Amino acid sequence: MALVDDPNDIDSILLATNTDRNATIATVTNNADTIFKWDYEKGARPRLNKLYEKAKGAMWDGEKDLDWSIDVDLEEMADHLKVVGEIQNKPLHDLSLEPGSPLANWGEAEWNTLAQESLVWQMSQFLHGEQGALVATAKIVETVPWIDAKYYAATQVMDEARHVEVFAKYLDTKLGDHYPINPHLQHLLDDVIEDTRWDMTYLGMQIMIEGLALAAFGFLHQMTEEPLLKKLLRYVMSDEARHVAFGVLSLQEVYQDMTQAEIRERQEFAFEAALRMRDRFLRQEVWHKMGIDDPRPLMSAMLNGPPETKEFQRLLFSKIVPNCRKLGLIDAGDAWLRTKFEEIGVIEFEHLESTDDEFGEFALA
């Protein structure tokens, strides 16, 4: 992963595209060593062992526990969520007032379509991210050198399979459409899988991607009134909080013994991942689907909009930043990551509760 020169350069953001939007398979090389562990002493890491014991008893079943007979009205759902979207989309509404802009002729129908497409797009990225987690945690089972972590990661593989299953079913049977994976999310997943260092899988997946997912699921869970999605998200969140805690507990131990140079590599990896996730939210595929050939003015407006319109984007960091602080990543060395989090306006979350302390609050009753 190489640091980009100008993270706000729209042309380089758009260079990442899906070359084959109808592809049903993608391959990436896992360069990390697979490790067998012949010392089976269970509980050598008591907090990981506790998570494992909890996970075994916490497995819900999407087929039995969710009511799939509920009818879902995408139009109504999107219409309800539009209230939130309107704040987020303010820079786009402003742009639509400019004569000659790509949105100049937009009326209510187009804004409604945008709300629906954005929801389907968002749910699709959740689905693809879940598959990323499924594959990444299978990688952790293979590469982590601790038996308690292999046990726990194996439960997470099963959790992620159930998550993929319910999101796929929701998109297929309730929304009736889906988007291919966003190229920025794909790049991030590729980085996580390709890396030779086993701990980077945790940082990219458990801390960054799942930290963001936990915040995004929480937000949508709070906002939506659609009962099936609300319950589905609640169930998924109860697992995700444990997954993020698994990352924090594991990396705390690993980072203790690292050199300054090694920690700096982790800081850079975390920030690159943050940028990829931000770029994903510029929704470039939605603009293409809406028939906009050149989405650059829209993406630029979204990136450079006033702070109040970026509230949603900022909130997505509400789990990542305190967890990075707990890991010591923010202030290590010359506090490089603090400067970067300041630049993207998310440092204020650093003193929120970290997920290893709060995950119990997400448990199902």
How far apart are the C-alpha atoms of 149 and 243, rounded to whole Å? 11
Q: From CA 135, how far away is CA 128, in angstroms rounded?
A: 11
Residue with smaller CB distance to Fe ion, 160 or 272: 160
Query: Which residues have a Cβ under 8 Å from the Cβ of 190 and sit 6 or more positions away?
Result: 28
Q: Supply the minimum distance, in Å, between the C-beta of residue 13 and Fe ion.
A: 26
- Stretch in the footprint of Fe ion (CB under 5 A) among 36-44, 153-161, 222-230, 292-300: 153-161
The yes or no reply on residue 163 touching Fe ion (CB under 5 A) is yes
Alpha-carbon torsion (210, 214, 216, 220), positive or negative: positive
Q: Which stretch binds Fe ion (CB under 5 A): 16-24, 25-33, 208-216, 254-262?
A: 208-216
Minimum Å gap between C-beta 217 and Fe ion is 9
With respect to Fe ion, which residue has the nearer C-beta, 163 or 283?
163
Segment interacting with Fe ion (CB under 5 A) among 84-92, 238-246, 274-282, 323-331: 238-246
- Are 178 and 121 in contact by the 8 Å Cβ rule? The answer is no
d(CA 117, CA 245): 33
Give the span between the Cα atoms of 147 and 88, in whole angstroms: 45
CB of 163 to Fe ion, least distance (A): 4
Apex 288 CA angle, 120 and 107, nearest 5: 80
User: In whole angstroms, what is the distance from residue 5 CA to residue 174 CA?
Assistant: 42
21-to-100, 140, 171, 178, 191 alpha-carbon distances in Å: 30, 29, 17, 11, 20
Separation of alpha carbons 282 and 295, rounded Å: 10
Q: Which of 1, 32, 127, 133 binds Fe ion (CB under 5 A)?
A: 133
Residue with tokens 């391959």: 27
CB of 154 to Fe ion, least distance (A): 13
CB of 157 or CB of 344, closer to Fe ion: 157
Does 139 participate in binding Fe ion (rule CB under 5 A)? no
Please state, as a whole number, how many other Cβ atoms lie within 10 Å of the Cβ of residue 329: 27
Binding mask 91-130 for Fe ion (x = CB under 5 A): ---------------------------------------x
Residue type, 151: Y
* Beta carbons within 8 Å of 211's beta carbon, 6+ residues apart: 244, 247, 319, 320, 323, 355
CB of 126 to Fe ion, least distance (A): 9
Nearer to Fe ion, 10 or 133 (CB): 133
Using CB under 5 A, pick the residue from 82, 187, 243, 283 that binds Fe ion.
Answer: 243
How is residue 95 written in tokens?
Answer: 């742009």
Q: By CB under 5 A, which span of 49-57, 155-163, 171-179, 182-190 interacts with Fe ion?
A: 155-163
Give the start-end residues of each E strand in 114-186. Answer: none
Kindly tell me which of 211 and 295 has the beta carbon lying closer to Fe ion: 211
286 binds Fe ion (CB under 5 A): no
Residue 242 interacting with Fe ion (CB under 5 A)? no
- Binding span for Fe ion by CB under 5 A among 81-89, 221-229, 242-250, 262-270: 242-250
The answer to whether the CB of 299 falls within 8 A of the CB of 9 is no
By the rule CB under 5 A, 240 interacts with Fe ion: yes
List binders of Fe ion among 332-351 (CB under 5 A): none
Binding residues for Fe ion, how many (CB under 5 A)? 7
By the criterion CB under 5 A, which residues form the site for Fe ion?
130, 133, 160, 163, 210, 240, 243
